[in-house]
Structure formats: structure tokens, C-alpha cells
Structure 1
Amino acid sequence: MGDFIGYRCSICQAEYPPTQVMYTCPKDGGNLDVVLDIKHLKQKYHTSDITSRTEASLWRYLPLLPVPFPHAEGTTLGAAGYTPIYKPQKLAERLGMTRLWVKDESRNPTASFKDRASAIVVARAIQIGAPVVVTASTGNAGAALAGMAAAVGQKAVILAPRSAPPAKVAQLLVYGAQVILVDGNYDEAFDLAIQAAQEFGWYCRNTGYNPFTLEGKKTAAFEIWDQLQLANTTAVGRPLTVFVSVGDGNIISGIHKGFKDLEELGWLGQMPRLIGVQAQGSAAVAHAFHAGSEIIEPVQAQTIADSISVDLPRDGVRAVRAARQTGGTYITVSDAEILTAIADLGQVGIFAEPAGATAMAGLKKALVDGVVKPDDPVLVMNTGSGLKDVRAAMQAVHAAPVIEPSMEALKKHLAG
């Protein structure tokens, strides 16, 4: 466990001790950053103290995390993170690229990036003795909380929009969480979860509200640094560019936080460039970025990518800064482009849900627009499994033909 010394507001920079606040800044409602004692960590650890660890999970980076390991060896809580990075050569060739990687978050225990945040939040809930953890979710965050909570016997309540994909709702129920479908959108479920936490004394996991969600998501940056050996790079040449799908903004903000922690420690050779990708029908953060603003105006979100369909991103300010402060940008893509990207990834053995494929769709557009060059080093985040939304996956491909069970019928089909 790292040295957790307090919180800092991302808006007004006010600082608070660990026991004074729990969620957002009392002064302006800004999201809080967890502050670690970087000076002490620099004195105590070197890069080899981290990279030599053998844990194949996010707990590999325990010295840089603000929670203790919750003694859950052999459970899914202890297995979150440390997902593989692939180098899909055929896809790179089709795109005309020389250095392309895909980090596949579908390999997490509940098949999405959100396991990272939930593992840390559940560990925090155990640490503070919370009786119940509640969250709003379109599916993935809820499934992650339900799965991580089930691993350690923590009670969880999930508020999901009734429009959530059935496969995601099924996960929530199978993990044994108390699932309540809300006859409204994600933003309405979000507000209700906060009210319930206040009313019943529950611990709220809401993304872009609970500071510890960011601490889980930053571990993806640690893994990119670790797995691609970014500590050994120099400032000569182009930095790594990371493409991230963006909904509420917490994933790209978390990855940025992870790289900033490494930079403060003096362990990062060069800050990667972060490019956020949003669906055109849910692009509040992209609109603010391109307007040169940090004021996030709500939209009427409508996209096939349910995991990033958000009217009012709750971590929009930090999401704008993640791209702006790293020399990145925001790209928007259509639902049709997202569906094509699902097929692109599938052809190299990676099954992505729409939100996961959004980042790949953004890379393809960035190549056409000259935002990245073919020889730039690029990593694309796939944030979730296609099994989460099979209905969308079927729209990305042609339906399988049906033939009679005879060789004649098979030959006829193959011939023509």
C-alpha cells in the first residue's frame, strides 16, 4: 500500500486530509484526486522494486495504490488487471502501420476495464467497513462491482437503466448483486445512487464521483509503462500515442493519472499522448475540448456504444485535460464506424464490444486525418468484451447462411 496522504480538488486545488471528505470537493463539487506521498515513495522504491514483482494482477503495483490488499488471494478481486498487450501484425499491415499494439481489457475477470476500479473500491469498502456498495451503471461498472463484491462477500446494489443490454444485466444477477432497473437513463440512475448512499449510509462507487475509481483505472497506465518498458525510453523520437474510448471520462482521466504518478516519481521516459474517442451521438467531452473549454455541456446521448452513452460526463474536466496536457486530442466517430471497427478487431482475434471498438475506429480516422502517422507507436485500448453486447456484434457482420445437411448443399454454397 502506498502512502495515501489526502485529496486534492481537480478544480480549485484545495487539499483535504484523508478523513475529511469522501467523494467530491465541498467547495465546488470538483472531482478529487487521491494524493500519495511521492517524496517518500521515491526514497523507498526504485523501478525494479515494481517491475520485478511477480503478481499477474493490478496488485503488482500495490506500493503505488492507496488501499491495502484485502487478503483475497485466489479470488477474482485478486485477479483484476495485468491484461495482455497484443501486436496484431495483420491489422497493422492493413492500416499501413509499423508499430501498433492493442491492450485487451476483455481479459479481466468480468470482461471489462471496469474491474480495475471496482477491485480498488471494494478494497476501500472493506478498509472503511462499508456495509453496502452501490453504483449506477449501464452494465460494465455494475458487473465489475457485482463480481468483485461477490469474491469477498461484500453486499452490492446496482442501479442500471432498463435499456442496458441483457447480457450485462445477466452478469449482474448471476454475481448475486441486488439489481434494480431504473426506468430512465444512466444520468438519472447516477443521481439516484448518490441519493441512496446518502440516505442509507452506503458507500457509492459511482464513476467520476468516488476518487478511488481513478486509482484503479490508473493501473492500466502502470501496465503500459511496465509491459512496453517505457521507463527505458528517451525523449528522442515520437511518444507513444494511446487511443481511449470516452464516455464519462474516468478511464482516460485514470490513465492520465497513472502516467502523471510515474512522471512525478521520475520513472517515465516520455509522457504518452492521449487521444480520446467519443461516439458522435455522445460527444460532450469532445465538444468542450474543441471549443477550448473545460465547461461540459450535456447532450442527448444516443449511440450503439451503450458503455460510453452519457448525457453529462461526470469526469469531463479531467478528461479534457488528459488530452490537452499530453498533446493529444479528441476524435468523434459514427456508429457505423464503430461497427466496422468491431469487425476489424475480430479479424485479428479480439472480440470487442462497441465501446471497446470505438478507440480503434478513432485510430482509423486519425490516420486518414493525419493526427497520427503510420510509423508512430500507437496503443489502442479495448475496454470490453463483445460478449457483453451480442446484438451489436451481429450488426457488424453478415448473418451466417443456413443450408441443408448434405454435401451437395455445402458444395453448392461454397461454389457460389
Structure 2
Amino acid sequence: MKHVKYGQCVKCGRTYSAAPDLTTCECGGILDIVYDYEYIKTRLTKEKLAARQERSMWRYRELLPIADSTKPTSLRVGWSPLYEEPRLAEILGLKRLWVKDDGQNPTASLKDRASAMAVAKAQEAGAQVIACSSTGNAASSLAGNAAAAGLATYIFVPSRAPKGKVAQLMTFGATVVSVQGSYEETFELSKQAIDRWGWYNRNAAINPYLSEGKKTVSLEIMEQLGWQAPDYIAISVGDGCTIAGLWKGLKDLYAIGFIDRLPRLISAQAAGCCPLNRAIETGEDWRPMEENTLADSIAVGVPRNADKALMAIRESNGLTVNVSDEEIMAAQKLLGRTCGVFGEPAGVTGAAGVKKLCEAGVIGKNDTVVSVVTGNGLKDVANAIKSCGEPISIPSDMDRLLSAFAERHIAVD
């Protein structure tokens, strides 16, 4: 890979050859993939990119750590829609607002981007089995992308994982281990199993290539905005890999001259599990927290990608915001009723954060914002029903319909 220099530890700076099965540094630090930007500039231009028919994350091959001979994965991952939402912008008091609906990926979450990269690198490594631990979305995305490529998967999830996500895993043919414990305990068991049997490791904080897959969401946002950077990009944060990838993509584009300024990031976490935001806000080292939120996909009390995530927030002069479960579910309804976008609780946490920052006057009428919805609401219908309530249920009788409307104060013209 002429465009890739090496993997470099974010803690000690040690470098490693960019082999397909690259993991962490000997010091325990996470690696960052370093590119030869001058070489990339000779291979990629805005005009060349615009002429491409490929509408997936693989349209950005020159900015991805894959060999020239590596074929795109089978499922169409990426190029999700970016909707401008003037009505919601007006409600929130923003100049302009866009919603990036990454719940439209094949297994209905942004995690497909990381899993597609994991499958590509596993194939480069000649692996036949991939494994990971997950709160749900990474698991289902890996199982789906691996199934399409003919690879076997072993998936470890905490027992609290929503049934919709577990159903995806089973349908995709994964061997699923439901761990009776926290995500931290789930991660540790997956690590032991991977080490014992030598499976390809898809765990995001171990495998440095996964952030490179996730960064494609920011490459798409910038291209869809005509390379004009917004003031802010808001995203939900759990283990830190997604916000780190988002920032990496923006820095890549800045380094090759595709954008002339960098947006500020908004790190949105659930108030019941916000160890990364708490570290930023207090100026102290991050400390573990309980996983006390219904937003299961970001309920990570021991974030495995803390170094990169904290670096991204600080380098971007970013904002942190912690939202309650009630604020998350209110944002889910607001997005649905104003934008027609149905996000799962973790998927709309970024939008909940934007709403809270607008109400506090931190961002406002002169600002432009992109909010990334990271997962589809059908992943967790139980909480959506709890929040929105049950439908009207009556026999086929007009009098009963009129009574039901009157009881609910529904006025029909």
C-alpha cells in the first residue's frame, strides 16, 4: 500500500508496518494509521471523485488502508443520505441543520462501515473467522457483512442487548454468546476467546483499521456538502471509536486540501454513562462509570478508545454534552415528527445533544450543524413504544372511533 506509511501508537509514538492483522502497541496504546498525503494528492482529486459511479464507502479507496487488489465488500455500505432540515433548524434556532441518516446502512447502523473494513482486512489476512464483543450494533454489522463474504463469526454481547439486534445476529448465522454481565466483562471474555483460537479481531479499540472505516461518514458528509465545512458535527459517543474516526476523516480531507477548515465536534453521551465527557469537563483522567442508560449502543462504562476520542474532542475545540434518557427519547420523537427519521436511542443522542446546547444558548442562530444518526429505531422498538405509547385499539365502529378521538382530545377538521 503505497499510500499508507505505517501504524503509529498514540501513546508512545512507536511505528508498525501496516499488516492486515495489526492490533495494539506493545505498550498497550492504540495505533493510528498514518498516510502519505503527498502521494494521495497525486492520485485523488475532487474532479476524479465526482466522476465515480461507486456510491459506497469504497469510493474513497485512496484514503482507506486497503491494497489495490482488495475488492469492495459485498454489501452496499455508506453513501447514506444527508438531509437538510429547515423546519427542525427553525425549531432549534439554528441557521442551517443537516441530519445524516446512517441507519440506512445494510444492517441499520454506522457500524457497518467498520465491519466492512474488518471483513476486507480479514480477507487480506487470509482469515476465515472474525470475532468481536459488542453492545449490539457492531455485532450485527459484523455478522451481516461477514455472512455476505462467506466468513464465520463469533459474537459476544451483554445479556441486556436488545432482542432486535440479537435476532439479526442469529439470522446472519453468527455463533452468539450472551454474557451475563457488563460490556467490560463481555469484552474481556471475547478477548480471551480471540487470543485462544486466533480469530481475526474486529474489536474497535484493538483493531486500528476500524476507525478508518468509520471515518468514511465524515468523508461523505463533506462531499455531500460540496466540501464546505459546517460549524459543528454532532455524534453520539460510547467507546470513542466513532468520534475518533469522524475526526480522522476530517483531518485527512484537510491534509489533502479538500476542505479549508475543520468543524468543531459535539460529543454527546448519555448522562448515565459519560466517562469521556466527564474527563473533558473536569480536566481529569477518565474513570469507569456504571452503564446506566437505555441507549445501549453507547452504554460503555470502560471506553476502549478513550485516547483517540479525547484527542479528537480536544483537537477540534469540541463541545461535550450529557443528556438524560428522557431527553434522548424526546429527541427520537422530535426527529421522527419533523424529519421522518427514525433513530434508535443511541442513534439520536447526538440530536438530543444539539437540542440541549441550543436551549442553553451555546450554539444558535448563526451556526450550521450536522447531526449524525448512527442507528435505526427498529433496532429497539420496545423503548420507542414506551416513549410514544400504544396505538388506538377499537373495533370497526365509527362511534367508538369518535369516542376514542374525544378521549384523546384529537380534533379532526
- Give me the TM-score of the superposition, normalised by structure 1: 0.94
Q: Determine whether 1:160 maps to 2:157.
A: yes
* Structure 2 CA distance for aligned equivalents of residues 187 and 270 of structure 1: 37
2:306 maps to what in 1?
316
1:196 maps to what in 2?
193
1:181 maps to what in 2?
178
The one-letter code matched in structure 2 to 1:85 is: L
The one-letter code matched in structure 2 to 1:165 is: P
1:287-307 Cα offsets, whole Å, 9 max, x none, are 1111224x3211112100000
The one-letter code matched in structure 2 to 1:334 is: S
* Structure 2 CA distance for aligned equivalents of residues 106 and 48 of structure 1: 29
Aligned match of 1:109 in 101, 106, 111?
106
2:331 maps to what in 1?
341
Deviation, structure 1 residue 2: 6.6
Runs of 4+ in 1 over 3 A off after TM superposition: 68-73
* Structure 1 CA distance for aligned equivalents of residues 90 and 258 of structure 2: 32
Q: Determine whether 1:4 maps to 2:4.
A: yes
* Structure 2 CA distance for aligned equivalents of residues 319 and 276 of structure 1: 9
1:175-195 Cα offsets, whole Å, 9 max, x none, are 111111111111111122222
The one-letter code matched in structure 2 to 1:206 is: N
Q: Is the 8 A contact 1:8 1:35 kept in 2?
A: yes
In the TM superposition, 1:287-298 aligns within 5 A as 287-293=278-284, 295-298=285-288
The one-letter code matched in structure 2 to 1:37 is: D
In the TM superposition, 1:20-169 aligns within 5 A as 22-27=22-27, 29-68=28-67, 70-71=70-71, 75-76=74-75, 79-169=76-166
1:244-298 Cα offsets, whole Å, 9 max, x none, are 10000111000000011111112212101101000011100011111224x3211
2:322 maps to what in 1?
332
* Worse overlay, 381-390 or 13-22: 13-22
In the TM superposition, 1:223-302 aligns within 5 A as 223-230=220-227, 239-293=230-284, 295-302=285-292
Q: Is the 8 A contact 2:215 2:245 kept in 1?
A: yes
Q: Is the 8 A contact 2:21 2:122 kept in 1?
A: no
* Structure 2 CA distance for aligned equivalents of residues 64 and 320 of structure 1: 23
* Structure 2 CA distance for aligned equivalents of residues 168 and 21 of structure 1: 27
Q: Is the 8 A contact 1:187 1:311 kept in 2?
A: yes
Q: Determine whether 1:405 maps to 2:396.
A: yes
The one-letter code matched in structure 2 to 1:180 is: V
* Structure 2 CA distance for aligned equivalents of residues 269 and 311 of structure 1: 36
* Structure 1 CA distance for aligned equivalents of residues 102 and 176 of structure 2: 24
Q: Is the 8 A contact 1:2 1:63 kept in 2?
A: no
Residue 388 of structure 2 aligns to a residue in which SS?
A: coil
Q: Is the 8 A contact 2:95 2:364 kept in 1?
A: no
* Worse overlay, 283-292 or 191-200: 191-200
* Worse overlay, 167-176 or 10-19: 10-19
Residue 106 of structure 1 aligns to a residue in which SS?
A: helix
The one-letter code matched in structure 1 to 2:288 is: P
* Structure 2 CA distance for aligned equivalents of residues 32 and 49 of structure 1: 30
* Worse overlay, 11-20 or 392-401: 11-20
Q: Determine whether 1:389 maps to 2:388.
A: no
The one-letter code matched in structure 2 to 1:336 is: E
* Structure 2 CA distance for aligned equivalents of residues 2 and 110 of structure 1: 32
Deviation, structure 1 residue 170: 0.1
Aligned-residue sequence identity (percent) comes to 42
1:236 maps to what in 2?
none
Residue 155 of structure 2 aligns to a residue in which SS?
A: strand
1:65-84 Cα offsets, whole Å, 9 max, x none, are 111474357x31xx001100
Q: Is the 8 A contact 1:359 1:380 kept in 2?
A: yes
Deviation, structure 1 residue 112: 0.2
Deviation, structure 1 residue 130: 1.2
Deviation, structure 1 residue 410: 1.2
* Structure 2 CA distance for aligned equivalents of residues 21 and 203 of structure 1: 7
Q: Determine whether 1:351 maps to 2:342.
A: yes
2:358 maps to what in 1?
367
CA 1:311–1:227: 2 relative to 1, 3 Å: same
* Structure 1 CA distance for aligned equivalents of residues 20 and 264 of structure 2: 34
The one-letter code matched in structure 2 to 1:354 is: P
Runs of 5+ unmatched residues, structure 2:
408-413
Residue 389 of structure 1 aligns to a residue in which SS?
A: helix
| Alignment RMSD | 1.6
* Structure 2 CA distance for aligned equivalents of residues 204 and 147 of structure 1: 16
The one-letter code matched in structure 1 to 2:164 is: A
Q: Is the 8 A contact 1:278 1:358 kept in 2?
A: yes
CA 1:20–1:111: 2 relative to 1, 3 Å: closer
The one-letter code matched in structure 2 to 1:100 is: L
Deviation, structure 1 residue 165: 0.5
Q: Is the 8 A contact 2:332 2:345 kept in 1?
A: yes
* Worse overlay, 91-100 or 215-224: 91-100
Q: Is the 8 A contact 1:92 1:100 kept in 2?
A: yes
* Structure 1 CA distance for aligned equivalents of residues 277 and 158 of structure 2: 24
Q: Is the 8 A contact 1:2 1:62 kept in 2?
A: no
The one-letter code matched in structure 2 to 1:16 is: Y
Q: Is the 8 A contact 2:20 2:122 kept in 1?
A: no
1:71-112 Cα offsets, whole Å, 9 max, x none, are 357x31xx0011000112222222222300000011000000
CA 1:2–1:301: 2 relative to 1, 3 Å: farther
Deviation, structure 1 residue 115: 0.1
Q: Determine whether 1:219 maps to 2:216.
A: yes
